[in-house]
Amino acid sequence: MIYKHNEGYLFLDFRLRSLLERFHMTKANTGFRKLSRFAYFLIGGGLLAFGLFVAIYGLASFALYLVSEAKMDLEVFFKPVIALTLGLAVFDLGKTIYEQEVLPKTQNVSDGFNSKSLITFMSSIMIALLIEALLIVFKIPINN
């Protein structure tokens, strides 16, 4: 950039990326960061796909129980509910990893840690664990 200043000229020569990194308005995108972002992309995407697969499996197995002429008892409902809660927990874990590590940060870097996503993740894990514990409480008397 060249500006006319009083009786002379002012030359400014800088790289925009290095200037933004210096003022902490963006992060340096090193090779290791790209590699870790790719690894998180694979792992988070795999967890998302696995969570969806398990949830669809739970719904499909419940639909098969409804259509089949097998004897309907309380134990028939345990398998789909376990699959759905496991699918929910795994999907939420994959979503959290994907949002935090893969998607570009649109917030200011100084904002730091996003506690809302951790609270959401922990809530879904706790709900899944409580449902599983409740199912075990019902399953023990049925099997004995």
Tell me, yes or no, whether 1 lies in a domain.
no
Tell me, yes or no, whether 19 lies in a domain.
no
Gap between the terminal Cα atoms of the chain:
82
Tell me, yes or no, whether 5 lies in a domain.
no
Domain region containing 59: 37-143
Instruction: Give the model confidence (pLDDT) of 5-54 as tens digits.
Output: 788 887 777 777 777 777 777 666 677 888 888 999 999 999 999 999 99
Q: What is the mean pLDDT of the chain?
A: 79
Instruction: Give the model confidence (pLDDT) of 69-98 as tens digits.
Output: 777 777 677 788 888 888 888 888 888 888
Give the integer Cα–Cα distance in Å for 72 and 63.
12
Model confidence, pTM:
0.63
Domain count, the chain: 1
Short-list 16, 48, 21, 23, CA closest to 33: 21
Tell me, yes or no, whether 67 lies in a domain.
yes
Residue type, 1: M
Give the integer Cα–Cα distance in Å for 68 and 83.
19
> Which ranges of the chain does DSSP label H, i.e. alpha helix?
16-22, 31-67, 74-97, 115-143
Beta bridge partners of 64: none
Tell me, yes or no, whether 41 lies in a domain.
yes
Share above pLDDT 90 across residues of the chain, in percent, rounded to a whole number? 15
